[in-house]
Amino acid sequence: MTSKGIDYYFVNSSLFDLHAQAENTDGSWALTPISVGCLPLINNGNVQINWRGLHEPYGSFSFSTTAHTPQSFTQSINVVTGNTSGPLDTLMNTRSIIGADSALSYGMFDAGTGKGTGLTNQDQIYAYLTSPQRGWMGALASADPAVRQAPFASFVLPGAHDAGMFDLTQVDILCLSADGIAALIRAFLDWIPGAAQIAGLAAVQLKGVVIGEAFTQKDNIATMLDLGCRYFDFRPGYAPSPIKKILGDLYHIHNVIPGQKLDTFFEDVLRWLLANPTEIVAISLSTDGFNDHATMDPSADALRTSFAAAQQAVGAVSIQIGSATDLSTSYADLIAANKRLFFLNQPSLGWFPATKYDSYTDAYQTTDPQVIIDALRAMTKAEQTKDYTVLQLQATATGKNPVANAIALADSMSAAYAPLMSTKPMMDSNTYPWLLENVGNLSSSNLLIILNDFVDNALAGCVASVLTAQRCS
C-alpha cells in the first residue's frame, strides 16, 4: 500500500482547544480526531496517510484551535509524489499568530523522498498553542515578590539563534539583477564549494536554496518578542566582498548571507521596549561564523553609531543600557532605573563585552536529538565561571551533509523543504522536557539563555518562565 508519513508535534498550555486529524485518500481516518491536552508538554506521534481503492491519491492533515479568533489549517498530501498543498506550503509564510488571548507558533518541513540527504523522509508538522507571552517577565514579577527582588542573573531567557535571519529584503534585492545573482552565487560557493549545481539556477530557485541553508527564523523581531523571546544572537557585519559592492551597510550575516540591517534591528527592539515597560531584553553581538573577519567585522565605533542613531530615530534615549556588571542587580531595580536593554557582546568587538559558557560544539551538525541532549548534559555548575551560560537547543542539519542538502534544495519544487526546519520540532520534543528536569543542576546565579531556531511561544510560556520562577525562589 502506498503511503506518506507525517511526524506531528503539539503543545497546548492555553485555555482553548487544539485539535488534529488526518484522512486517507478515501476519506477514512488515518488519524482519528484528537484533542491535545496540556500533558505531556509536547504531544507527538506519527501518522501514515494511505492510498486506498481507486480514489485520487490525495489525503490530508489538519489542525485547528478554538481561541477567540479560531485558526484552522488543512494540508493536502499526495501520497504518491509526497507533494503537499495548503497553508503550510511556504516556510517563510508560516508566521506565528498572536492574539489577545493566545499565541500560536506552527510550521512544516516538506520531506520529499529524503534520499541522499541524511534528513528524514517523514513530513514534520508542529503547532504550539499557549497564552500570550508578550509580558511574561512582568507577570511573573507581579505574582511573586521573589522574582521582583531576584538578581537578573537568576532569570532564564528564551533566545533567538541567528536572530536576524528572517528578513529576505537583501536576498530579494540581490535576486533582482544579474550582478546580484552572480554575487550571491559566488559568495554561496565560497561557503559550500561543492554545490556547483547552484550556479545555473534561476533567481527563484537560488532564493529557495539560500532560505533553506541560511534562514533560521521566520518571525520578525517584534513577533519574536511577543512570543516571549528575550535574547538575540545577532551577528552584525559587512557582506562578503562579492555582495558588499551591492549592499554596503551592516547586516546580520549568517556565514556569507545577509539578513536584517543592524540599524533596523536596533530600532525594532527599542520600539518594542518602549511599548512594554515591564520587560528586559538582552542582545549578544558577535561575528561567529564569518568567513573573512578582516573585511566583514564591524568596528566598535560603527556599532555605537548605529545604536545611537536607532535611539534617536525611535525616541528611545530614556532606555538605559545594562552590561555584564549589572547582572547581579535585581529585576525591580533594573525596571525602576529603566535599564532594560542589556548588551552581552563578543569581547573582540570592544563594546559592552561579556563572556559566555556555551554548549555548542561541531557535534551539533546532526539530526540525532541525543547528541544535543549529551551536549546539554555535559554543561556543569563547576564550569559556570563566565558572565552567563548558553544552552543551544537547535541542531544544524545543514552541516551534516552540506553539498547534498544544497543540491536537494536546488532540485526541490517545495518552498517548505528547509533542512534547518527538518529537526526543529523533534529537537524541541527532547530538549524542552529535558530543560524542565535538569536545569536545576546548573547555577541559579548565572544568567541562563536557552537558544533556538524558529522562535516559538512554548519556549517562554512552558519552559523559561517556569524555570525562572523556580530559580528566583
**159-171 tens-digit pLDDT:** 999 999 999 999 9
> Of 130, 158, 190, which residue constitutes the final position of a domain?
130
Q: Do residue 408 and residue 263 come from a single domain?
A: yes
Q: Do residue 407 and residue 262 come from a single domain?
A: yes
Q: Do residue 39 and residue 24 come from a single domain?
A: yes
Q: What is the pLDDT of residues 235-281, one digit of tens each?
A: 999 999 999 999 999 999 999 999 999 999 999 999 999 999 999 99
Integer Cα distance of 332 and 321 in angstroms: 15
Q: Do residue 72 and residue 148 come from a single domain?
A: no
Q: What is the pLDDT of residues 174-231, one digit of tens each?
A: 999 999 999 999 999 999 998 888 888 889 999 999 999 999 999 999 999 999 999 9
* pLDDT band, residue 43 (cuts 50/70/90): very high
Q: How many domains does the chain have?
A: 2
Q: Do residue 116 and residue 149 come from a single domain?
A: no
* pLDDT band, residue 1 (cuts 50/70/90): low
| The pLDDT of residue 261 | 98
Q: Considering the chain, what is the average pLDDT of its residues?
A: 96
Say yes or no to pLDDT of 53 above 80: no
| The pLDDT of residue 253 | 98
Q: Do residue 350 and residue 369 come from a single domain?
A: yes
CATH number, domain with residue 58: 2.60.270
Q: Do residue 78 and residue 154 come from a single domain?
A: no
Q: Do residue 157 and residue 126 come from a single domain?
A: no
CATH number, domain with residue 440: 3.20.20.190
Integer Cα distance of 79 and 67 in angstroms: 31
Say yes or no to pLDDT of 40 above 90: yes
Q: Do residue 261 and residue 347 come from a single domain?
A: yes
Q: What is the pLDDT of residues 125-141, one digit of tens each?
A: 999 999 999 999 999 99
> Of 130, 159, 187, which residue constitutes the final position of a domain?
130
> Of 102, 130, 158, which residue constitutes the final position of a domain?
130
Q: What is the extent of the structural domain holding 31?
A: 3-130
Please give the C-alpha separations between residue 241 and each of 177, 247, 250, 408, in angstroms, as whole numbers.
17, 10, 13, 27
Range 127-142 burial, b when 16+ CB lie within 10 A, else e: bbbbbbbbbbbbbbbe
Integer Cα distance of 140 and 274 in angstroms: 19
Mean pLDDT of 330-336: 98
Say yes or no to pLDDT of 306 above 90: yes
Q: Do residue 125 and residue 172 come from a single domain?
A: no
Say yes or no to pLDDT of 307 above 90: yes
Q: What is the pLDDT of residues 309-320, one digit of tens each?
A: 999 999 999 999
Q: What is the pLDDT of residues 383-439, one digit of tens each?
A: 999 999 999 999 998 777 788 888 888 888 899 999 999 999 999 999 999 999 999
The proportion of the chain whose per-residue pLDDT surpasses 90, expressed as a percent, equals 89
Q: What is the pLDDT of residues 60-81, one digit of tens each?
A: 999 999 988 999 999 999 999 8
Q: Do residue 434 and residue 397 come from a single domain?
A: yes
Say yes or no to pLDDT of 103 above 90: yes
Q: Do residue 325 and residue 450 come from a single domain?
A: yes
